[in-house]
Homo-oligomer: A and B are copies of this chain.
Amino acid sequence: VEQSVLEQNVTAVQPVLARRAARLAATPPAAESHEAIPFDSGHAFPGVLPDLTAAAQAALTAFRAETLQYGVRPGLPEMREFIASYMNADGAKVTADEILVVNGAKHGLDLLCRLLLDEGDSIVVTAPTYFTSIPIFRSFGVEFVEIGQDDEGMSVAELEDALRRLAAAGRKPPKFIYNVPDYHNPTAVTMTRGRREALLEVAAAHGIPVIEDSPYRKVRFEGVLEPSLKALDRRNGVYLLGTFSKLVAPGLRIGWVAAPRDVVARLVQLKSDGGTCPLTQRIILEFARAGGLERHIEKVQSVYRAHRDRMVAALNSELPEVKTTYPHGGYYVWLEFPQNVDTDALAKRAADFGATMIPGSKFFAGAGPASSKTPSAPKHFARLAYSHASPDEIEEGVKRIASALRSMRA
């Protein structure tokens, strides 16, 4: 493990916290007394966290011999069945043995990387892409093939071009295509059905698996629900990452990989953790059995819809010069500032004013000091999460960002 990779990870994973701390130490801001309003994290709103006491009580009494013992490595059989049914109710056609229960979706992504990647491989990601996945990918020494997006999602024409150019240059094809097709992180774009079908066709033609990262699919406020890539997949070429973090609570650390049987069998061998926690698996099963999950998903949708509404309204009134993709689901809004705004500087200034955000430059996998081959990332984007703060905090936080921006122009 190279020191440089680790250092990149430090930089990539906690940039706002680190810079905020440094900044606050260096120049005491006027707004220091504010508790910072958190637009930087995908944490859950504390008010939406469910009451799991009854489920835990059952899990720790009737199921004690199961929940406190080592669990089997692929996951509790009932949990695998439950996840398969949950996915099949959403158009997929998977069986329990195509499900691997993991310690959160990031763990599933890490396992897939361990299975599929060798040093020097390339992978396809969107530009921008999910921020936290970048250090995971980088730790495997991959090169990024970055593909742009429009309001229909990943540009499949650009992907085709890139694959053709790689082949023409005698390069190996990328090992997988990674995407968040529903309420994309960070852009909130949802792929259209046509784009999904085109993506699967190109992936199949080149023999490249697709990793469909799907944490937000049920965090849906309105609009059409397109079929998942997994549901559209006819060639066993899609590996879906799912999670209960957004449906029940992040702290339970239960996610899953849905993949062909032989892939699951190989991932199980790489999963040397003594089995994913059977207690939290059973808590989820008991919560669902009692009807809690279905009710909670409705609550999640209505709470975050209100957060989204408040943030969009605040952005319209406080930052009218900013362009966004209207989020029909998920946790995030992606801000496009005028070209002359440097959001790296703005994020620091906003932290001084008491609101945290992540500058857009952190979401471009191939750009920045880590790579000398590509130009630096565009500077005029930023991601705001509306999940964690309360509606009133959201309004106040957007005002603080607007004040920070004005103070930079002054």
Contacts and interface: CB of A to CB of B under 8 A. Distances in A.
Interface of A: 1, 6, 9-10, 13, 41-44, 46, 49-53, 56-57, 60-61, 64-71, 103-107, 109-110, 114-115, 132, 135-136, 139, 245, 249-253, 266, 269-270, 272-280
Contacts of A13: 269
B68 A1 contact: no
A277 B52 CA distance: 15
Contacts of A10: 269
Nearest to A118: B1
Contact of A277 (B9, B105, B136, B253): B253
Nearest to A108: B273
A213 to B, nearest CB: 13
Given A10-B269, A251-B277, 7 more contacts: A6-B266, A44-B69, A44-B70, A53-B60, A107-B274, A136-B272, A253-B276
A13 B74 CA distance: 13
B69 A251 contact: yes
Closest 3 CB pairs of A and B: A68-B249, A68-B251, A49-B68
A402 B306 CA distance: 69
Nearest to A104: B274
B49 A9 contact: no
A251 B272 contact: no
B49 A266 contact: no
Given A60-B52, A266-B1, A273 B107 contact: yes
Contact of A273 (B60, B110, B275): B110
Given A53-B60, A57-B57, A273 B250 contact: no
A50 B68 contact: yes
B273 A251 contact: no
A12 to B, nearest CB: 10
A306 to B, nearest CB: 19
A280 B51 CA distance: 16
B272 A69 contact: no
A262 to B, nearest CB: 10
B272 A110 contact: yes
